[in-house]
Amino acid sequence: MLGNAAIARGAYEAGCKVSAAYPGTPSTEISENLVNYPEIYCEWSPNEKVACEVAIGASMSGVRSMCSMKHVGLNVASDPLYTASYIGVNGGMVLVVADDPGLYSSQNEQDTRMIGRASMTPVIEPSDSQEAKDYIKLAFELSEKYDTPIIMRTTTRLGHSQGLVTLEDRVEPADKPYERNAAKNVMMPGMAKQRHIYVEKRLKQMSEDANTMAINRVEKGDNKIGFITSGIAYQYVKEVCPDASVLKLGLVHPLPKKLIKDFAASVEKLYIFEELEPVIEEQVKALGIECIGKEAFTVQGEYSANMLRKVLFGTEPKVKAEEVPARPPILCPGCPHRSVYTALKTLKIHAAGDIGCYTLGAVAPLNVVDTAVCMGSSISTLHGMEKAKGREFIKDWVAVIGDSTFLHTGVNSLMNMVYNKATGTVMILDNSTTGMTGHQDHAATGKTLMGEPTYAIDIYNLCKSMGIDNVVEVDSYDQEALTKVIKEEVNREAVSVIICKAPCALLKGLKFPNVCKPLSDKCKKCGACLRPGCPALTKNEDGTVSIDMTMCNGCGLCMQMCKFGAIEKVAR
């Protein structure tokens, strides 16, 4: 079972009733698997803050609830989390937060345990699929026992690895009654002051109890060398030193101080082996215990058994990697984003970018996207540039943002542009789905996570309703129309929105009846068709072009690039 599937299963077995999430690698499959359990109401919320608040509300009402997100999603959900930590829970509440050491699909490498510490929320961390299932069940129990939300921290390697899992039945905890309790549930200064006292007490108690919790376990072995470790890093220790003494921490915040002291005293040399930040290490050192941590192991990227071998034994694999050209991710053949970027490139326009597949517009051969910070940032960074350097400066700029990202947090930034008299141009790349994470529905697709038809928010009218006069819809594949509209709107002295419409080329159920075919007798070997970088096209030895029929979806971009009519669209 995939780690993320095991998390969904654990939530089911624990009697969880409500789950809310926004898709984000490597957490997306949790919600996609929850759909298999009709006992749980689950939804895609527009962003992680909303998802977290949905879970808080469900917990307050008296049922077990959860929300899941990737690490940077927790930044968005931090606002509710920090205060939910004060409020505590009625029904148990768990946040599953997936870190991405090695940045397989993220914009940074932050460590969720630091947010757990800062928000005074307990954090547990499983090390394989079986524990992922067991720990989330335990998390609900701890949540109710200590009156606190619990963060379960996972990593890409855990969520996207499969291992054996033993299934159990679902327990149905009775719904707790809702009782009005303003002192606990309304966080005004006077009440919050009292709750802060409770939060401190709670952490102290939990830290004490952690010394005897079964998920913090000592595996006695050779006393020459000992490891304190947790999560996936534990597996690397077991791989390399199956006979060493290990203190495996399941609860990584707060830490069991006595257990750590006793363990440290029982071994001659102590290593702290944890991915990303020295969260455990710094606390162990603060206890006055000598140990080796980040001076030997990096804070960057994913760990591995070979890396541990290198530090312990100085061994490295004999074989060296061959020198080969890199293969970075690229936009798919027939991707509508490629067409939009080609138009921007032709017009020599810079794009303030955002988070999604379309961030790939930053690299060769498109090189259109200049910036990318976080979800929704394209619109506000463009606005900041205009306010800093004036309207002339952004005359050859646009903001580009996907439909799902626009609804996530871009919409607030657009409100800001209207309110603060901006004149920039926003292009919403509407491909009718959340693309990069693998096609999740959102508030404008007309379908819920549970597969029910629902009202689809109309992005055009949403923008209009903000008071933007110039909202234009254009076919993402139509170079002529794109070029004309972009030129008009960037020159306009008012906010404008261009909605580029065409579904993601990988969206299920789409049919592509046509393919593009090169006509070598008309080809002038100019290479114009190759410029957008479609992977279906390759240059032949003689300078003409071949098109891979299995990849091509007949989008016609290469055909529009050719001035000599040397590419035609034919039936597949």
Partner 1 sequence: METKNIMIVGVGGQGTLLTSRILGSIMLTAGYDVKLSEVHGMAQRGGSVVTFVRYGEKVAEPIVEEGQADVLIAFERLEAMRYVQYLKEDGVLIVNDQRIDPMPVVTGAAQYPENIIENLSKKYKVYSIDAQSEALKMGNPKVFNIIVLGMAAKHMNFKKEEWLDVIEKTVPPKTIDINKQAFIKGFDF
Contact set with partner 1 (CB under 8 A) = 2, 25-26, 28-29, 104-105, 128, 157, 160-164, 232, 235-236, 238-239, 242, 304-306, 317-322, 324-332, 357, 359-360, 363-365, 436-438, 530, 533, 535, 538-539, 550
Cβ 213 to partner 1 shortest distance, Å: 22
Q: Which is nearer to partner 1, 425 or 434 (CB)?
A: 434
Which helix (H) or strand (E) segment holds residue 19: the answer is: strand 18-21
Cβ 252 to partner 1 shortest distance, Å: 19
SS3 at position 49: helix
Q: Which is nearer to partner 1, 289 or 373 (CB)?
A: 373
Q: At a CB cut-off of 8 Å and minimum separation 6, what does 354 contact? A: 372, 375, 376, 377, 378, 399, 400, 401, 402, 405, 410
**547 bridge partner residues:** 537
Q: How is residue 407 annotated by DSSP?
A: I
d(CA 257, CA 209) in angstroms, rounded, equals 10
Q: Which is nearer to partner 1, 3 or 256 (CB)?
A: 3
Q: Which is nearer to partner 1, 369 or 490 (CB)?
A: 369
347: its two tokens: 């017009």
Q: Which is nearer to partner 1, 292 or 305 (CB)?
A: 305
CA 445 to chain CA centroid, nearest Å:
20
d(CA 448, CA 457) in angstroms, rounded, equals 12
How far lies 510's CA from each of 258, 402, 444, 502, 513, in Å?
A: 60, 19, 18, 11, 10
Cβ 507 to partner 1 shortest distance, Å: 14
Please provide residue 454's backbone torsions phi and psi, each rounded to the nearest 5 degrees: -150, 175
Please provide residue 440's backbone torsions phi and psi, each rounded to the nearest 5 degrees: -105, 150
Q: At a CB cut-off of 8 Å and minimum separation 6, what does 11 contact? A: 19, 34, 37, 40, 66, 94, 136
Q: Which is nearer to partner 1, 177 or 328 (CB)?
A: 328
Q: At a CB cut-off of 8 Å and minimum separation 6, what does 572 contact? A: 512, 513, 514, 515, 549, 554
Q: Which is nearer to partner 1, 523 or 537 (CB)?
A: 537
Cβ 357 to partner 1 shortest distance, Å: 6
Neighbours of 500 (CB within 10 A): 27
Closest C-alpha among 113, 114, 133, 132 to residue 123: 113
Closest C-alpha among 222, 231, 83 to residue 157: 231
- The amino acid at residue 529 is C
Cβ 304 to partner 1 shortest distance, Å: 6
Cβ 504 to partner 1 shortest distance, Å: 11
Q: Which is nearer to partner 1, 326 or 388 (CB)?
A: 326
Q: Which is nearer to partner 1, 88 or 226 (CB)?
A: 226
- The amino acid at residue 137 is K
Burial of 310 (0-12, 13-18, 19+ CB in 10 A): middle
Look-up of token digits 């035609």: 568
39 in Cβ contact with 169 (< 8 Å): no
How far lies 33's CA from each of 36, 133, 376, in Å?
A: 6, 13, 27
Q: Which is nearer to partner 1, 1 or 74 (CB)?
A: 1
169: its two tokens: 């039945």
Cβ 425 to partner 1 shortest distance, Å: 26
Cβ 503 to partner 1 shortest distance, Å: 16
Q: Which is nearer to partner 1, 436 or 449 (CB)?
A: 436
Cβ 148 to partner 1 shortest distance, Å: 31
Cβ 227 to partner 1 shortest distance, Å: 13
Cβ 453 to partner 1 shortest distance, Å: 25
